[in-house]
C-alpha cells in the first residue's frame, strides 16, 4: 500500500510531482488551519510543512498513522521534535536549501539600512522630494560582525567582503576559520562591529541571545540585522536600545510572535521589517522541495 502524504504548506510543484511519480498518495489542501490539519491527520503517514505550520504535540497525537514529519526548509524549531521522537516518528528537513536566499536578503537589508531606501521610497510615493533627509553611509571599510558561521553566515561573510566590508566572525569553536578574524568570546566581537548580523540556530542557549547586557558591549550607533529566528534578539531590549540611540538601526525578517510582531518595533522609524521572507525565493523553494522529496523517496524504499 502506498504511503499517504498531507502537504499542509504549499511546496514546489516539481517536488510534489516527484512524490506522486514515486508512488506516494499526495494530498495538498492549500493552507489548512491547525484545526483542519488535526482533523485530516489521522488518515496520513507523512506530514510536510514549511514555516507557517507549527507542528505541536496535539497535532502529532492526532496523526495516529504518522511515520514522518518533513519540513521543506531549514531547521526543525517549528516541530515538537521531542514528541515526535517519543512516538517513533522520523523528522526530516532540508538543511542548506535556502542559505543563498537568506544571505542575499541579509545583504539587501544592510544596504537598505545604510541608504534609507524604504524611507526614501515612501517619501517619493507620498509625493515628496526630501533629498536632504536621506544622506546615507558607505559600507566599504565598515566592520561586519557575523554571529554564527554556518551555511548562511559563510555566504554573508563572503558577500560582505566582496563589497569591501571588514568581516569578523563569532561562532562555535567547530566553525573556526582562518579566512576572517575569528573571536571565541562574544563580547570581543560585539565591541568591534559597526554592523551585526545574526545567523545562529534557535536553541535554548540562543533564546534572548542579544539582550540588554549584550547591547551594552556594542559600539554606539551599531546596526543590527536578524534573518535567523525570532526570539534570538530580545525585542523589548532592542526597542529600548533604539530609543536610547545605542542602536542606529535594525533590520528584522523574523520576530518572537509571528505573524503578530511587536508593533512598536515594526513601526519604529529606524527599523526595516520584512515578513519572514528571507528564504522566500523560487530557487530556495525548489531546492527545499526537491531535498524533501528525495529524502522521502529514499525513506520509502524497501529495506
Give the chain's domain count. Answer: 2
293 and 173 within one domain: no
150 and 78 within one domain: no
87 and 50 within one domain: yes
pLDDT at 136: 97
Active-site residue, from 50, 71, 199, 276? 276
Tens-place pLDDT, residues 136-163:
999 999 999 999 999 999 999 999 999 9
Active-site residue, from 229, 235, 256, 287? 229
* Mean pLDDT to the nearest integer, 68-78: 93
87 and 123 within one domain: no
Residues whose CB falls within 8 Å of the CB of residue 120, separated by 6 or more in sequence, listed in order: 130, 133, 134
The three cell numbers locating residue 248? 542606529
302: pLDDT strictly greater than 90: no
Tens-place pLDDT, residues 263-296:
999 999 999 999 999 999 999 999 999 999 999 9
191 and 81 within one domain: no
287 and 204 within one domain: no
85 and 132 within one domain: no
238 and 256 within one domain: yes
209 CB-side CA count, 13 A: 27
103 and 89 within one domain: no
Does 229 participate in catalysis according to the annotation? yes
> pLDDT class for 1, splitting at 50, 70, 90?
low
Q: What is the pTM of this model?
A: 0.92
CA–CA gap between residue 229 and residue 74 (Å, rounded): 11
CATH classification of the domain holding 13: 3.40.50.720
Question: Mapping DSSP to helix (H, G, I), strand (E, B) and coil, where does residue 91 land?
Answer: strand
CA–CA gap between residue 40 and residue 5 (Å, rounded): 11
Active-site residue, from 87, 258, 270, 294? 258
Tens-place pLDDT, residues 215-269:
999 999 999 999 999 999 999 999 999 999 999 999 999 999 999 999 999 999 9
230 and 184 within one domain: yes
269 and 126 within one domain: yes
111 and 89 within one domain: no
CA–CA gap between residue 248 and residue 241 (Å, rounded): 9
* Mean pLDDT to the nearest integer, 168-173: 97
Tens-place pLDDT, residues 32-70:
999 999 999 999 999 999 989 999 999 999 999 999 999
Range of the domain at 9: 4-94+282-300
Beta bridge partners of 244: none
Amino acid at each position: 500500500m502506498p504511503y499517504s502524504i498531507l502537504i499542509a504548506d504549499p511546496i514546489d510543484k516539481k517536488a510534489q510531482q516527484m512524490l506522486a511519480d514515486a508512488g506516494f498518495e499526495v494530498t495538498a489542501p492549500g493552507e489548512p488551519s491547525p484545526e483542519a490539519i488535526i482533523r485530516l491527520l489521522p488518515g496520513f503517514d507523512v506530514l510536510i510543512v514549511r514555516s507557517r505550520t507549527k507542528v505541536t504535540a496535539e497535532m502529532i497525537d492526532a496523526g495516529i498513522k504518522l511515520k514522518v514529519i518533513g519540513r521543506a526548509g531549514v531547521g526543525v524549531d517549528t516541530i515538537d521534535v521531542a514528541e515526535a521522537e517519543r512516538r517513533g516518528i522520523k523528522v526530516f528537513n532540508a538543511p542548506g536549501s535556502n542559505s543563498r536566499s537568506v544571505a542575499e536578503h541579509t545583504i539587501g537589508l544592510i544596504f537598505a539600512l545604510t541608504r534609507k531606501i524604504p524611507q526614501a521610497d515612501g517619501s517619493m510615493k507620498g509625493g515628496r522630494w526630501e533629498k536632504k533627509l536621506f544622506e546615507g553611509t558607505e559600507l566599504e571599510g565598515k566592520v561586519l560582525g557575523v554571529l554564527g558561521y554556518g551555511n548562511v553566515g559563510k555566504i554573508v561573510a563572503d558577500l560582505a567582503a566582496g563589497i569591501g566590508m571588514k568581516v569578523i566572525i563569532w561562532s562555535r569553536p567547530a566553525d573556526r576559520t582562518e579566512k576572517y578574524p575569528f573571536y571565541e568570546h562574544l563580547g570581543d566581537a560585539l565591541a568591534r562591529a559597526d554592523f551585526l548580523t545574526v545567523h545562529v540556530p534557535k536553541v535554548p542557549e540562543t533564546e534572548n541571545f542579544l539582550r540588554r547586557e549584550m547591547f551594552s558591549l556594542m559600539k554606539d550607533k551599531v546596526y543590527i540585522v536578524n534573518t535567523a529566528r525570532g526570539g534570538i534578539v530580545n525585542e523589548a531590549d532592542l526597542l529600548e536600545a533604539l530609543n536610547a540611540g545605542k542602536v542606529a538601526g535594525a533590520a528584522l525578517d523574523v520576530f518572537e510572535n509571528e505573524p503578530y510582531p511587536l508593533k512598536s518595533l515594526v513601526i519604529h522609524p529606524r527599523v526595516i521589517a520584512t515578513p519572514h521572507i528571507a528564504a522566500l525565493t523560487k530557487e530556495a523553494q525548489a531546492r527545499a522541495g526537491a531535498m524533501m522529496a528525495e529524502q522521502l523517496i529514499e525513506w520509502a524504499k524497501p529495506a
